[in-house]
Each structure stands twice: as C-alpha cells, then as structure tokens.
Amino acid sequence: MELDSKCPTGPIETRWDRHRFNLKLMNPANKRKHTIIVVGTGLAGGSAAASLAELGYNVKCFCFQDSPRRAHSIAAQGGINAAKNYHNDGDSVYRLFYDTVKGGDFRSRESNVYRLAQISLNIIDQCVAQGVPFAREYSGYLDNRSFGGAQVSRTFYARGQTGQQLLLGAYQALERQIGAGQVEMFPRTEMLDLIVVDGRARGIVTRNLITGKIESHLAETVVLGTGGYGNVYYLSTNAKGCNATAIWRAYKRGALFGNPCFTQIHPTCIPVSGEYQSKLTLMSESLRNDGRVWVPLAKGDVRPAAKIPENERDYFLERRYPSFGNLVPRDVASRNAKMVCDEGRGVGESGLAVYLDFSDAIQRLGAPVIKERYGNLFDMYQRITGEDPYKVPMRIFPAIHYTMGGLWVDYNLMSTIPGLYVIGEANFSDHGANRLGASALMQGLADGYFVLPNTINDYIASAKLEKIDDSHPAVKETEAQTAGITMRLLEIKGTRSVDSFHRDLGKLMWEYCGMSRTAEGLQHALSKIPEMREQFWHDVKVLGAGEELNQSLEKAGRVADFFELAELMCLDALARNESCGGHFREEYQTAEGEAARDDDHYSYAAAWEFRGVGIPPTLHKEPLSFEYVHPAQRSYK
C-alpha cells in the first residue's frame, strides 16, 4: 500500500494556505444535504461537531458519558500553547514549530507541525471570544507560563483547570448547535464498530449504554475524536473510561494504525501507593515552573527532606541539563527520575519517587502567590497523600499519560479508509515520538475548529456516494457482528473479573513496553499477551445481561480490545530498533544515557495494517523528510 500523506510542498509558511485554496468548497445550501457523524465530545470532537454544524452540515454527535462536557479533556490542568509572543521573549510561529519537531525527536511531519504552530494563534483568539477565562496579568494581557521543552513562556492557562474551561467553551458552541437542531446529540452511546460500504466509511454501530440496544447510524463521513489509549496500561493518568475501542475497531476495518508504541510517560504524577489502586493522578507540568526536582545525593538516605542539607541534595535535572533545568521535556525528565530511583536514591516508602520542592519559590514569592498559581493542585495533592506541599516537598514519579500513536491520517486528517477522519489524541499526527506539554489541547482544538472544517468539504464535494439505509447488507452484517461479540462476552461466565485481567495486562505492558524497553522484554511480552488473551476469552466473568445498563460488559469489550492493541504496541516497539522520544530501547542509547536515534533506518512513521487477530500485521512506512529543522541529537544541556 502506498501511503500518500498529501502534504503540500513549497515554502512551509504558505503550505496550509495554498493547500486550502486548492481544496474544493461546498455551497452552504448543499451542506444542509449532508450528514457527518462525530464520535467524541472532548476538545477535538466537541470543537469539530460545533464547527461543522456552524458551517451548515447535519451532525450526529456521540459520547459515552452522560453529558458531552464530561469528556476526559475536562481533566487537563496545565495549559495550552500558542506562539503569541505576548512576553516578547523571542517566541514565534517558527520557534513553536522548531520546538515541536525537535521535542518529538524528529519523528513527525514538518508540514503538519508548522500548520499547528500557525493555527495556535487563532485558537487563543477564538477561545477568548468564547469567554474562556484565561489567566491575565495586571495589565490585562493574557498571562503565560513555561512548559517543558521550551525556553519561552507560551502556555496560556486558567489556573489548573485549563481543559475544563476550554471544554466549556467548546461545549457552549456545541449546545448552541444542539439547540438550533443542527446537531443531534447521543450521550451514553458507545460506538462499537465502523460501517464500511464499498471501501468508504458510511456509519457506525452503537450500543445504547442505558438500554443495551444495538443500532446503526449512517452518514456521508465519520469523524473519530475518541481520545487516547493510555489505559491499556491499566494505571494511567487518563480518566477510567478512556479506551481504544472506536479506533481499534476502525483499525480492524482497514484504517492503518500509526506509531502504536509511541506513548508518553509524564514525570510528575503521584506515585503508586498500593496493589488495589485503579487510577493515577497527575500533578501538572506547570508545577515545574516553580518546583525543583531533587533526590538525596547518597543512596538509601531515609532522612525526611527537611533534614537533608542543601549540599547533600542532587538537583539532578538542573545538574545534567543546565539550559532547560527542571523544564526539560517529559521523556527526558521521566527517564532521569527512573535512573536515580534505579540507583537506589528514590524517596518515600517504595523508593519509587523523587521530590518536587517548592520551598525556594515560597521563600522568594510567598505562599499566597504559589497558592494563586497552583492552589487547586496543592489541595488535590494534600487530599490524596495527606501531606501539605506548602510545608514538605511533593513526592512524584512518572506514569503513563498520553499516546502519540493513533490512527494514521494524511494532511487532511483522513485515515486510510476514505471518509473516515480522525482528530485529537485519537490520531497519530503531530507530536512524533514525544509530545511537548500543553500541545495536546492545542492540537485537539486546531483539528476540530480549524483543520477539519476546511478539509472535509473536499471529500464530501468530490465523493460520489450512493444513498444507503439500514437494510444495506454491510449495515446488517456489522450490526450482527457487534451483537455477536456482546453475546460471546456474556456467555463465557468464567471466574475472573474484567479488572483482574486488565490489571495483569497493564503490569506486563508497564514492565516490558513502558518507560524503557528491550528486545528480550518485548519478545517475552509478545509470548505472554496471546496466552493472557486466550485466558480472558475463556475465563472472564461478565455479570448481567446485554439489554440493560451493564458496566461490566462495557469494560469487557474495551479490555478485549486492549489485549489486541497491546500486542501491536509491542510489535511496533520491537520493530523500531532505535530510541526516540518516549520510545526508549535500552540497547540504543548514547554514552550519556540519552535516546540514540537511527535516522538512516527509522526516519519513518510506522503504519500497521490489520490482517486478523493472531496474524502478524503488515508494516507500511511513511518516510519523513526534514527540510527546515535538521535532525540532530536532541540536547537540552
């Protein structure tokens, strides 16, 4: 299969403009004749559904929560990047582009990233116009703070609730269209399969999560904004409901999966505290603006932090990376935290934590200023750990947080199934092998508010689509297959809970396909996963029935998909014999322990094609070329 990224050529500054100009437009009166399905109401799906409806399309929008405004985007804390250069500290569209390509360790497309940096400016304007209450300075200008991987301050924020405030903006825009009858909203409805007719995406099969009814919905195009798949690891900072089912089932219908092994470990999470924990909590990266990361210099030093004098502390990020200090990118900060813990210098009972210390900042700025900046995060930390971070340093450790991989899409955000678009965290598009902090919200909103509304017209205007209805054989067949999976899960009547299988899979993935990976470990995981999957399909216990509210059934379907996805992630990690960004293969590191890329052999986006469960998928490669930011060893020193 030839992967055509449809990336424009020529001067990078004008690529998006020229591309848009060449795309077909659609007469507003004709838009009313077309229906678009949008699955997802997070920042990506919510902004897309609202914008497409605003343009005049009929939109059917789906989410599994009880309200569109409960999408996981609401949890985003720290902020959203934009190259406004309000601080006059040297920022520009080009610098945001440069930082993102470099931060992604040269595994993303230059054209996409440049467009993202350009659009970042529009996003802030749009959100301000919607009334999103971004933090402001005394002068009235919007305030900025710094995030990892950048030496400028370009992160816009609303205390530690940026995702919530941005989502309220998108949600209001969506509600307006729901009120106007332009969007039909289906909450508590889970997409379980994609309907493909003559090779094109034409609809979805869903399960009503209250009644259990399985139904089909048809349209001219389908958009997936269904979020990331970090919960394959069981413990992650993602909301418990986040899952991969929508993109996974689309993959099984022919959409290629891009870079599945590119996952992000966030350095500042509250450490795991016990076997039965089901969720990890993020402490926003913004805290690294004022918090200093350290461990004791000596191994096994168990004195309380306050008793360890300054000269017996190792501020290891500041020591190793004097230019970026505590604001190195996430992959670098996480690996270094693991390294000092592996050396026996970790803190807390488990030894799997490092300190994030605010005492200097409190002394310099005073507690009220720190409270104003991070008050809700400090409260959250105190409620969970019982410790007061104004008095003792926070203890933090890396945890799974974000997935850069996702369905492969071209520059128009269309997958390899014509008519299937994928936006936000669900696609693989812009972050390469490592995402910079505060860039996910930027990408989700860029995709939904600005990119998709421009590119989708071109497909709808050119595709000659026959009218279909529920009686079409492809619809009937997909519905029957969906009902079949549900029945099969209910009939197993085994002895183990869904969660117990999920927990075991998560542990295996964290150990062998987590923060660092080896060929040997990945091969071990690849031998275990099919065994565990077999066991799951023979011994899982799903109580209740199909035609009712049944959360155990919902979870079982999602975990069944995680078992298959986990295998693909390990295969991808094994096939990439290099280290880049969050993909750290221990065999490939520099003398200083940094990720060693192999550009001669691996400068490509991996795109995997499904060939059947248990059958090795086919790897396709989209070569990456760098005309503007020349690949070099990433240095933050």
Ligand X SMILES: Cc1cc2nc3c(=O)[nH]c(=O)nc-3n(C[C@H](O)[C@H](O)[C@H](O)COP(=O)(O)OP(=O)(O)OC[C@H]3O[C@@H](n4cnc5c(N)ncnc54)[C@H](O)[C@@H]3O)c2cc1C
Return the number of other C-beta atoms located less than 10 Å from residue 482's C-beta.
22
Give the sheet arrangement for strand 35-39, strand by strand: 183-186, 58-62, 35-39, 221-224, 420-422
Binder among 100, 126, 182, 245 for ligand X (CB under 6 A) = 245
**CB nearer to ligand X: pick between 259 and 439:** 439
Of residues 77 through 136, those in contact with ligand X by CB under 6 A are 77-80
- Nearest-angstrom CA–CA distance, 5 and 20: 15
42 is a contact residue toward ligand X (CB under 6 A): yes
Binder among 26, 49, 53, 76 for ligand X (CB under 6 A) = 76
Binder among 104, 267, 424, 432 for ligand X (CB under 6 A) = 424
Residues 141-180 vs ligand X: string with x where CB under 6 A? ---------------------xx-----------------
Of the candidates 189, 165, 188, the one whose C-alpha atom is nearest the C-alpha of residue 75 is 165
Binder among 439, 478, 482, 603 for ligand X (CB under 6 A) = 439
- Burial class of residue 4, CB neighbours in 10 A (0-12, 13-18, 19+): exposed
Q: How many residues does the chain have?
A: 637
Q: What is the DSSP letter of 374?
A: H
Of residues 466 through 525, those in contact with ligand X by CB under 6 A are none
Residue with tokens 């690529």: 15
321 is a contact residue toward ligand X (CB under 6 A): no
Binder among 15, 34, 36, 41 for ligand X (CB under 6 A) = 41
Contact range with ligand X by CB under 6 A, out of 68-76, 365-373, 509-517, 545-553: 68-76
**CB nearer to ligand X: pick between 441 and 580:** 441
Q: Choose the catalytic residue: 70, 159, 200, 330.
A: 330
Q: How far is the CB of 5 from ligand X (least distance, A)?
A: 21
425 is a contact residue toward ligand X (CB under 6 A): yes
264 is a contact residue toward ligand X (CB under 6 A): no
Q: What is the DSSP letter of 271?
A: P
Binder among 111, 144, 231, 237 for ligand X (CB under 6 A) = 237
Tokens matching residue 296: 């004791």
Residue nearest to ligand X (CB): 42
Binder among 72, 109, 154, 320 for ligand X (CB under 6 A) = 72
Which phi and psi (to 5°) does residue 339 adopt?
-60, -45
Of residues 182 through 211, those in contact with ligand X by CB under 6 A are 190-191
Residue with tokens 């993959």: 251
Q: How far is the CB of 189 from ligand X (least distance, A)?
A: 6
Residues 374-403 vs ligand X: string with x where CB under 6 A? ---------------------------xx-
Tokens matching residue 307: 């008793």
154 is catalytic: no
Q: Quick check: 85 and 614 in contact, CB under 8 A?
A: no
Return the number of other C-beta atoms located less than 10 Å from residue 334's C-beta.
26
Q: How far is the CB of 419 from ligand X (least distance, A)?
A: 18
Return the number of other C-beta atoms located less than 10 Å from residue 156's C-beta.
28
- Kindly state the number of chain residues that form the binding site for ligand X, as judged by CB under 6 A: 44
Stated as kind and residue range, the H or E segment containing 357 is strand 354-357
62 is a contact residue toward ligand X (CB under 6 A): yes
Residue with tokens 């008793």: 307
65 is a contact residue toward ligand X (CB under 6 A): yes
What sections of 156-239 are H helices per DSSP? 162-179
**CB nearer to ligand X: pick between 165 and 603:** 165
Reading phi first (left if > 0) and then psi (alpha if -120 to 50, else beta), residue 332 is in: alpha
- Nearest-angstrom CA–CA distance, 462 and 200: 13
Binder among 40, 148, 203, 291 for ligand X (CB under 6 A) = 40
- Nearest-angstrom CA–CA distance, 59 and 37: 6
Beta bridge partners of 592: none
Of the candidates 593, 520, 80, 122, the one whose C-alpha atom is nearest the C-alpha of residue 331 is 593
Of the candidates 115, 206, 108, the one whose C-alpha atom is nearest the C-alpha of residue 433 is 108
**CB nearer to ligand X: pick between 115 and 320:** 115
Q: How far is the CB of 236 from ligand X (least distance, A)?
A: 7
242 is a contact residue toward ligand X (CB under 6 A): yes
216 is a contact residue toward ligand X (CB under 6 A): no
Active site residues: 330
| Residues making contact with ligand X (CB under 6 A) | 39-45, 62-65, 71-73, 75-80, 162-163, 190-191, 225-228, 237-238, 242, 245-246, 282, 401-402, 424-426, 438-441, 444
